[in-house]
A and B are shown apart, each in its own frame.
Chain A
Amino acid sequence: MQLQSESSGSKLVVTVEDERIDAANAMKFKDQMRWIVEDSEQDVLLDMSQVDMIDSSGLGAIVTVMKAMGSDRSLELAGLSEKVRTVFSLTRMDSVMTIHDSVEDGLGGIARAS
């Protein structure tokens, strides 16, 4: 599981450089994300544009990371594939989390719940 993180203005952009967040690597994703977010106080924008598929393990890992960040910081997503959007929509996660079309949108505009 490869994650790149870069500060951009007030946000920390974390790019997932893996095509899947699934049972095979969700635990590594979660551990690495926790390490990154606990090392910062910024809001996080997760760049998912390289991710083709996420399963319930991956979804659970994202929720764990959100809990670790607490209520004062936000974790938003950008660049979801059709398939990943389907997973978020079927589980109603898209009504809970803020999802941007692109990292640019996530950094530029005012955050809007989708």
Chain B
Amino acid sequence: MHPDTTSDIVGDIDMRRGVGPDGSERVSLLLPATNMAVRSGISTILGLVDQRDCAREEIDQLEIALAEVFNNIVEHAYPERDDGMIDVTVELKDPGAHFTILDTGEPMPSGRLPGGHTADPERAPHEQPEGGYGLHLLRTCARKLRYARNGDTNCLTFRVRLTPT
């Protein structure tokens, strides 16, 4: 992180703002991996991004992507624990934002992100699967989604487009 940073704590969230090496605004957040802290984290990140006055659909899709990423971490990276942390870095670029999300929880099974699926319009409502939608939502709303396991850390990166209106 560039020495020129300011930091503050919003609720449970430790947030630092600064400038990346390429001059773009960079915000780092550290949030507890709990459902309630994740809600605050999403709200905080959307607040940062919303200042750029972008298309509503893009902000909505970012929110959808973040909810799924964070839910996966809370539920699968840190199962049965409430003391895990999620390290989020947001780089505000033009025309979008780059996200790097780290956790030190369990690795992804089989070392990769599962695929996910949509509902099946050829089946009746009560015959639909109950799960698998989150990964589909994430893959649809996030661009350049990449997962890597580095030592004891899960690293997920993705981008979203933010078109100024």
Contacts and interface: CB of A to CB of B under 8 A. Distances in A.
A69 B137 CA distance: 26
B133 A91 contact: yes
Contacts of A60: 130-131, 133
A96 B133 contact: no
A19 to B, nearest CB: 10
Nearest to B64: A87
Interface in A51-65: 53, 55-57, 59-60, 63-64
Contacts of A91: 118-119, 133, 136-137
Given A56-B68, A59-B133, A24 B119 contact: no
A81 B26 CA distance: 31
Given A63-B129, A90-B137, A90-B140, A55 B64 contact: yes
A64 B125 CA distance: 10
A39 interface: no
Contacts of A50: none
B8 interface: no
Contact of B119 (A55, A75, A92): A92
Nearest to B134: A56
Nearest to A71: B126
A87 B140 CA distance: 10
Given A87-B64, A90-B140, A92-B121, A56 B35 contact: no
A29 to B, nearest CB: 13
B124 interface: yes
Interface stretch (B11-19, B54-62, B146-154, B157-165): B54-62
Contact of A63 (B36, B128, B137): B128
Interface in B80-115: none
B35 A23 contact: yes
Nearest to B60: A83
B161 to A, nearest CB: 15
Among all A-B residue pairs, the 10 with the closest Cβ atoms: A56-B134, A24-B35, A92-B118, A95-B121, A55-B67, A56-B133, A83-B60, A23-B71, A96-B119, A92-B119
29 contacts: A20-B39, A22-B67, A23-B67, A23-B74, A24-B35, A24-B38, A24-B39, A56-B68, A56-B71, A57-B134, A60-B130, A60-B133, A63-B125, A63-B128, A69-B126, A70-B126, A71-B124, A75-B125, A82-B56, A86-B64, A90-B140, A91-B118, A91-B133, A91-B137, A92-B120, A92-B121, A95-B121, A96-B119, A96-B120
